[in-house]
Structure 1
């Protein structure tokens, strides 16, 4: 028996902060100040305003009921005290919601987990800020109801040296119980860190003991940094816990989602990894899944891919 009497349409997408943060890993404060400016300028060049327009067009075509987004960001630029230079804030959620409304859509925030945040003085004299968060959105006229909203950070996180000082790359998850079309299920959205299998192992344990420790039908989505093509240990732990991978259940062709170039200007996709996943168990079925943001027509007028990563669309019952 299906979990719901009507298909549930869901998208998950790592929207990309707009710049590689790797240059910020530095022991030298003066080097960090110069690199901070370069990172921010790359963010400006990857133009989230235009990318959000491209995403909104895709959402308009597919009309998903629920959306899970990772690497949502707030970038800020603050002049030194006493300066008449302007301060600017770029809030990805505000920008995306504006683009969705322009496309005739309205999505509300169901859950939001705030992740790492930091400010750094740049070589220009400006102070540059970045805050990362993930969200679960629902279409405003979606007939489902949400309860038991949870928003958490992982207790174990990666730490990097930024300007010679330790900086925790705090990430996390959010979840909600959804009652829709005669059924109740749990949806969980998460983002795992790069580079550290041990941290990801701890994050997997936290999820399995936390929001995934339920008898409810469960849909887990997000960006896992596990490359499922290689059947890595953390990926197998979810499969061994009874989860089905929506991509392998429905498709035989590779579902690679990572990675376009950091400037988003590579001519054709060179996606070699599969890190974006829909995983489900306890009664869910899925019979349709495909990638988003991999066709040339999805690019912005300025030739940018909508994200460094492909998104996923799937239906569930």
Structure 2
């Protein structure tokens, strides 16, 4: 009986070893595949006010009054408070790569001076600096790997000095011990198709563009682009996306991720769907389903969400396996100090590169 017991134990060990050997290749393959996982976020930070209101000014005194009102709105929409919630979103969702739009810097000029030149240099706010501070406070380490300044406008204000806004895009990549992405080269640019807006004292070109980079994860090379297309002309937005598709994103052999604010909803009529359709026509596919990502009230204090448009997208070419897809910043519980984190919701997508 004792011999039988030892025999059964030996047989059980042998069977277990055979089972382990049988499943070992699958386990190794799964582990290898997971190294190709990449989590990306698209987040419009919101510049804090609707600057197109400046275009409604019929004369310089009205422009100055509008500039002060917009400055007051930027103060009221309180990015330092909103940045805390956005940093919490990043901590919860753990993106490897973050594409940011409406990365704003505000400056003031000398008191009483308006010379028609964009030369105000006294800092008021720096969105990226503020957000990076909140990330560090949470023990998060992200580095800026691409940045593109686009709009640069300076206007006189009833505050008694010029106010200057520099607006653009930035891409952040997780750094430090938990870094998984290798950055190979920067990819950023400004579109040649632009909307020009007349003000009483100047013509303002609403420059738009993109930030991005070529990188690799788990030995797989990819291109990540963070575009921000024109909001006030669907035709121009479509031309901007087509320009990007014909140039920096023209290589169909390189796995490519477009994560940004297209200002284009496929359900909209006519020109307003052009930017999205340009990407789909170039072989890109959406990683998620239709969801409302824009837009809350200008002052971000509306009680219930007013998101109705689907203009923020994460598109990929070729099709990739989507392991996780979620919307962030779209629930009342996401508000901070009575404000929505942004006038847009954000998107977080976990992908597996082939």
Same fold per TM (> 0.5)?
yes
Aligned to 1:218: 256
Does structure 1 conserve the Cα–Cα contact (< 8 Å) formed by 2:80 and 2:130? yes
Q: Does 1:291 align with 2:327?
A: yes
For residues 200 and 149 of structure 1, the distance between their equivalents in structure 2, rounded to whole angstroms, comes to 23
Q: Does 1:165 align with 2:202?
A: yes
Q: Does 1:14 align with 2:49?
A: no
How does 1:1-317 map onto structure 2 within 5 Å?
5-25=35-55, 26-80=57-111, 88-141=123-176, 142-214=179-251, 215-230=253-268, 232-248=273-289, 254-300=290-336, 302-317=337-352
For residues 111 and 217 of structure 1, the distance between their equivalents in structure 2, rounded to whole angstroms, comes to 19
Q: Shift of the alpha carbon at 1:3?
A: 8.3
Does structure 1 conserve the Cα–Cα contact (< 8 Å) formed by 2:242 and 2:275? no
Does structure 1 conserve the Cα–Cα contact (< 8 Å) formed by 2:106 and 2:126? yes
| TM-score, scaled relative to structure 2 | 0.83
Show structure 1 runs of 5+ residues with no match: 249-253
Does structure 1 conserve the Cα–Cα contact (< 8 Å) formed by 2:238 and 2:276? no
Q: Shift of the alpha carbon at 1:16?
A: 0.3
Does structure 2 conserve the Cα–Cα contact (< 8 Å) formed by 1:4 and 1:183? no
SS in 2 for 1:34: helix
SS in 1 for 2:188: strand
Cα deviation, 1:63-105, whole Å, max 9, x if unaligned, reads: 11000000010012334169xxxx5420001000000001111
* Deviant stretches of 4+, over 4 Å: 1-4
Cα deviation, 1:258-305, whole Å, max 9, x if unaligned, reads: 1111110111112110000000012532232111101222111x2100
Does structure 1 conserve the Cα–Cα contact (< 8 Å) formed by 2:150 and 2:207? yes
For residues 150 and 160 of structure 2, the distance between their equivalents in structure 1, rounded to whole angstroms, comes to 26
Does structure 2 conserve the Cα–Cα contact (< 8 Å) formed by 1:3 and 1:184? no
Work out the number of aligned pairs and report it: 308
| TM-score, scaled relative to structure 1 | 0.92
Q: Shift of the alpha carbon at 1:174?
A: 2.0
Does structure 2 conserve the Cα–Cα contact (< 8 Å) formed by 1:228 and 1:273? no
Cα deviation, 1:100-155, whole Å, max 9, x if unaligned, reads: 00111111001011101111111231211110010010011312211231221001
Cα deviation, 1:9-65, whole Å, max 9, x if unaligned, reads: 111011100011122103411110010000000000000000000111111111110
Q: Shift of the alpha carbon at 1:256?
A: 0.4
Higher helix fraction: Structure 1 or Structure 2? 2
Does structure 2 conserve the Cα–Cα contact (< 8 Å) formed by 1:158 and 1:169? yes
Show structure 2 runs of 5+ residues with no match: 1-28, 114-121
> What's the C-alpha RMSD, in Å, of the aligned pairs?
2.0
Q: Which structure exhibits the higher relative contact order, with contacts defined as CA atoms closer than 8 Å and separated by 6 or more residues?
A: 1
Does structure 2 conserve the Cα–Cα contact (< 8 Å) formed by 1:4 and 1:180? no
Q: Shift of the alpha carbon at 1:164?
A: 4.8
